[in-house]
Structure 1
Amino acid sequence: MTQPTAQGFPNIAGLFDLAGKEAVVVGAASGLGQATAIGLADAGARVVCADLNSQGAQATADIIAERGGQATATGADITSTAAVDALAADHAGAEILVVTPGMNVRKRLVNTTDEEFDRVVDINLKGTYRLMRAFGARMAAAGRGSIVVFASFRALVVEPGQGLYAAAKAGVVQLTKAMASELGPQGVRVNAILPGPFETPLTEQIKADRTWWDAYADKSALARWGLLPEIAGPVLFLASDASSYVTGHSLLVDGGWMAQDGRFTPSV
Structure 2
Amino acid sequence: MSDPWSYAGKRCIVVGCYSGIGEATARELVRLGAEVHGLDLKESPVALASFTPCDLRDTAQIDAALDGIEGHVDTLFYCAGLPQTFPAIEILQVNFLSARYLVERLRPKLRQGSAIAIIASTAGNGYPERMPLIREAIATPDYEAGLAWGRQHLDGQGDPYMFAKEIVIVWGLLQAQTLIKQGIRLNLLSPGPTISGMTKDFEAVSSAAMIDVFTAPIDRRAAAAEQAYPLIFLNSDAASYVNGLNLVADGGFTSGVMLGTIDVPALLTQVTG
Q: TM-score range by the shorter chain?
A: 0.7 to 0.9
Query: Which structure 2 residues correspond to residues 109-258 of structure 1 after superposition, within 5 A?
Result: 116-139=87-110, 142-157=111-126, 163-207=159-203, 209-217=207-215, 219=216, 221-258=217-254
Query: How many residues align structurally?
Result: 231
**1:16 counterpart = 2:2:** no
Corresponding position of 2:144: none
Separation in 1 of the partners of 2:211 and 2:254? 17
Gaps of 5+ in 2: 128-156, 257-261
Do 1:196 and 1:254's aligned partners in 2 also have CA atoms closer than 8 Å? yes
Q: What SS does structure 2 have at the residue aligned with 1:171?
A: helix
Task: Give the TM-score normalised by structure 1.
Answer: 0.78
- AA aligned to 1:262 is D
Query: Which structure 2 residues correspond to residues 20-169 of structure 1 after superposition, within 5 A?
Result: 20-54=9-43, 57=44, 59-61=45-47, 71-91=49-69, 92-105=71-84, 116-139=87-110, 142-157=111-126, 163-169=159-165
Instruction: State the 1:38 CA deviation.
Output: 0.9
Change (3 A) 1:85 1:37: same
Separation in 2 of the partners of 1:206 and 1:176? 24
Q: Please tell me the root mean square deviation across aligned C-alpha atoms, in Å.
A: 2.4
Separation in 2 of the partners of 1:216 and 1:192? 20
Q: What SS does structure 2 have at the residue aligned with 1:145?
A: strand
Instruction: State the 1:162 CA deviation.
Output: 6.6
Q: Once the two structures are aligned, what percentage of the paired residues are identical?
A: 29
Q: What SS does structure 2 have at the residue aligned with 1:50?
A: strand
Change (3 A) 1:117 1:149: same
Separation in 2 of the partners of 1:122 and 1:246? 27
Do 2:39 and 2:52's aligned partners in 1 also have CA atoms closer than 8 Å? yes
- AA aligned to 1:60 is V
Task: Give the TM-score normalised by structure 2.
Answer: 0.77
